Amino acid sequence: MNRVIDNHGRPISYLRLAVTDRCNLRCFYCMPEEGIKYVPKPHLLTWEEMERTIRILVNMGVDKVRLTGGEPFVRRGIMDFLEELNKIDGLRQINITTNGVLTAPLIPEFQRLGIKSVNLSLDTLDRQRFFDITRRDEFQNVWQTFEALQEYNIPTKLNSVVMSGKNTDDIIPMADLTRTHNVSVRFIEEMPFNGDGAHEYQEFWNYRKILEELKKTYPGIYKLPDPPASTSYNYQIPGHKGTIGIIAAFSRTFCGTCNRLRITPQGQFKTCLYDDGVFNIKDLLRQGLDDASVTQRIFEALQHRAKDGFEAEARRTVGLVSESMSTIGG
């Protein structure tokens, strides 16, 4: 299989596909309390359009797909979609990102379908703080999803956005989960994607500060080799089963090896999280373009890709980054 290389010599092998912009939580760092204006269904990619797009990208060398949202499991038909994706030759990995509210009963099906890993969003182990962050009392459902993932031995990453004045007291309790659970706990720098739901930053916790906090309790924490194209700096605490990851999402230190593309629920094709979309693939499909023509448009976009997130942000035509992660794909 020939893998497409971008204009900076980076091979492209990974698609993050947001299947919906809808979400059943209201995390303050993702969207305003009143929510966002959801896209009418006719303006979303259909399941058939998403499948066709993935088949085109697999023929270009993409072998890993992550389904995100919004919350992907609020969109009807997603399990049938996973069944169809499982039939695509050359698609080596299907991964999922979920908030876990609706997911626990589906975990046995994940195992049957061969889902390679699940990223579970969980910013705190405290029920009240969970409510304060998400504006919904759903902690127990999320925890049941975590327990089910462990029971069915599905590789799991817990994604925790670190927010000053909100959940920094949870860094150590979250890290301590790796003592008895074979799980990767990943601490993520907060990003500005909150749909104009501005909030005041008391102090920015970058990846260095997060590591310093971990070292206060775990002075023996040591660096692990980072896999190719990893977004996280990876660590282990001596004697613990699981691992720690720190993602410099706002500092943008991993752009040099980025192998990712993003497609939003509306079909915006993004070669970087921080750009505002280079074209709309839904429009191309609905204009009747054949696969070869769509492939050519994707190839051309990858030959004009920004070097990093800072360059992508500088190129934006619609001002500063402020979209909700729910509309981009978390």
Cα angle: 223, vertex 159, 215; to 5 degrees: 35
Tell me the mean pLDDT in the region 230-240.
96
Specify the pLDDT at position 197: 47
Give the torsion sign (CA, 195, 196, 200, 206): positive
Question: Which domains can be identified in the chain, with CATH numbers?
Answer: 14-315 (3.20.20.70)
> Residue 66: beta bridge partners?
16, 95
Reported as a single tens digit per residue, the pLDDT across 303-329 is: 999 988 888 888 877 655 555 554 555
Q: What is the pTM of this model?
A: 0.91
Distance CA 204, CA 190 (A): 8
Specify the pLDDT at position 319: 57
Q: Which one is predicted more confidently, 307 or 267?
A: 267
DSSP 84-100: HHTT-TT--EEEEEE-S
Reported as a single tens digit per residue, the pLDDT across 101-132 is: 999 999 999 999 999 999 999 999 999 999 99
pLDDT band at 18 (very low <50, low <70, confident <90, very high): very high
Tell me the mean pLDDT in the region 33-46.
82
Amino acid identity at 147? E
Specify the pLDDT at position 249: 82
Give the residue among 78, 317, 93, 320 at the shortest CA–CA distance from 198: 320
Mean pLDDT taken over the chain: 91
DSSP 187-213: EEE--S-BTT-----S----HHHHHHH
Specify the pLDDT at position 195: 45
Reported as a single tens digit per residue, the pLDDT across 61-94 is: 999 999 999 999 999 999 999 999 999 999 999 9
Reported as a single tens digit per residue, the pLDDT across 137-195 is: 999 999 999 999 999 999 999 999 999 989 999 999 999 999 999 999 999 998 765 44
Distance CA 181, CA 184 (A): 9
| C-alpha distances in Å from residue 79, one per residue of 14, 41, 141, 269 | 21, 18, 19, 24
Specify the pLDDT at position 159: 97
Rg (CA), the chain: 19
Specify the pLDDT at position 308: 87
Specify the pLDDT at position 315: 86
Reported as a single tens digit per residue, the pLDDT across 182-228 is: 999 999 998 765 444 455 556 789 999 999 999 999 999 999 999 98
Contact present, 73 and 23 (Cβ < 8 Å): no
Both tokens of 131, joined, read: 């409510």
Specify the pLDDT at position 261: 97
Q: Tell whether the model's pLDDT for residue 49 goes beyond 90.
A: yes
Q: Tell whether the model's pLDDT for residue 6 goes beyond 80.
A: yes
Distance CA 289, CA 286 (A): 8
Alpha helices (H) in the chain, listed in sequence order: 47-59, 78-85, 107-113, 127-134, 139-151, 171-176, 207-217, 281-286, 291-302, 309-315, 325-328
3-class DSSP state of 222: strand
Give the residue among 224, 228, 216 at the shortest CA–CA distance from 244: 224
Specify the pLDDT at position 35: 66
Distance CA 68, CA 329 (A): 6
Neighbouring CB atoms inside 10 A of 43's CB total 12
Burial of 132 (0-12, 13-18, 19+ CB in 10 A): middle
* Backbone phi, psi, residue 141, to 5°: -65, -40
